[in-house]
Amino acid sequence: MLTDPRDDAVLTGSSLRQRGMRMVIGAGLLVLLAFAALVQLTALASVRSDIAGVFLKALILSSFLAIVPLAVLWFLDRRERESAWLFAAALLWGGFIATALSLPFNNAFFQLVDAWVAQNPGIAGVLGPDAAAMIAAPISAPIVEEIAKALGVLAIFWLGRTEFDSMRDGFVYGAAVGVGFNWSEVALYVAQGYAETGVAPYGPELGTRYALFGLGGHALFTGMFGLCLGFAVETNRRWLRVLAPVIGIVLAIAAHRLINSLPLLAALEQARTGMPANSQQAAADAGFLDAFLQGSINEIVVLLPFFVMTGLALWRSGVWERRVIREELGSEIGRAVTPGEYEDIVQDRILHTRRVGGVQRGLSSAVVKAQNELAFRKRRVRNDGRDPEHDHLVNRWREEIRLLRQLSS
């Protein structure tokens, strides 16, 4: 059998095909990884061994909780499975590089706010001992963190251009970056809470940050940026191609800022009604289930417009995917698609996963995915103004389907 066409698809049209660019890009990524490792290791080396132990335990728990959002993303991506390498790269960017890029900027801004609060003790009297964190979180984190995560999505878009076909692809990559960021960040906050109080806040931190099963928060924020970047790929209007990613990063920052403002707004409301500022301690003492439920309710209420927009965009993207598969494979009947298979393609629905009858499940899945990849490749080539019949990758997918049928016979 030929080498997997997906490997060739990732490199087609990519700067990675050029030896000089491979060296430059590789060197740049090594520098980023070295910087990320230096930041992470420096942070761990500067704390007591018991704090490092809490961090590692929280990271393990976070890994188990991250399985759910990753499984949902894997299901959303079922019609045109993205490269496993790019999917892993998205997770690693969010979990290591984006957190490392964000940490020094967030810390520097927090120190500035902390010094300002110290010079204005009346603010701490209103907001309580966490006044600096409440003020800094809605200002610095949304901008710094969303830009750091968006850079990872842009890098995937640049290096794996042929794998980035639609809004759904963009959401999958963006949300994967967000899941990776959340995976790492929750462990940092648990360790920080333990260092400050002597009690590791596993329940409240894990529950709050994995509210809605990890599909809100960072996954939603960066997923929206990815959606807009994917829309820029789908549209033929030049001005929308430029504007869509800008709208995406603005939406991500706005949603992030809204959710980060909740503690500050709650403290201001408590001050207005005369409640003591330290009454927020109840939230810090919450167990996992209580924090999960309260965090889910908060995200649904506060971020409802963003969830609705994202849901509609994913629905529209699913309609677009099925239309592309139906239109592009219509001319493949008798070559890559049988008449019976095309009837199933026409009848495909939103939550349905098409199968090829009469063959083993694994081979059926491989044939269907190869047919879908063929359809999307043909559409991309056609949109670029070229003839799909002369595209080497189109013909490789046809050959892959032919070889898979031989295995099933």
The Cα–Cα gap between 134 and 189 comes to: 14
Q: Which residues of the chain have pLDDT under 70?
A: 1-26, 44, 275-285, 409
Residue tagged 């670029």 (tokens)? 384
Residue tagged 């200002």 (tokens)? 139
The Cα–Cα gap between 42 and 53 comes to: 15
Residue 277 confidence (pLDDT): 52
The Cα–Cα gap between 305 and 259 comes to: 13
The Cα–Cα gap between 121 and 352 comes to: 60
Tell me the pLDDT tens digit for each residue of 50-74. 888 999 999 999 999 999 999 999 8
In this structure, what are the phi and psi dihedrals at residue 333, rounded to the nearest 5 degrees? -65, 125
* Nearest by Cα to 150 from 75, 251, 36: 251
Identity of residue 52 = A
Find out whether 357 and 340 touch, Cβ atoms under 8 Å. Answer: yes
Joined together, the tokens standing for residue 96 give 């290591």
Residue 17 confidence (pLDDT): 53
The Cα–Cα gap between 342 and 251 comes to: 39
337, β-bridge pairs:
333
Joined together, the tokens standing for residue 235 give 């549209």
Distances (CA, A) of 161 to 156, 320, 366: 7, 19, 22
Residue 83 confidence (pLDDT): 74
The Cα–Cα gap between 59 and 75 comes to: 24
Residue 279 confidence (pLDDT): 44
What pTM was computed for the model? 0.86
* Nearest by Cα to 137 from 266, 20, 45: 266
Joined together, the tokens standing for residue 95 give 């979990």
Q: Report the 10 Å Cβ neighbour count for 48.
A: 10
Residue 2 confidence (pLDDT): 44
333, β-bridge pairs:
337
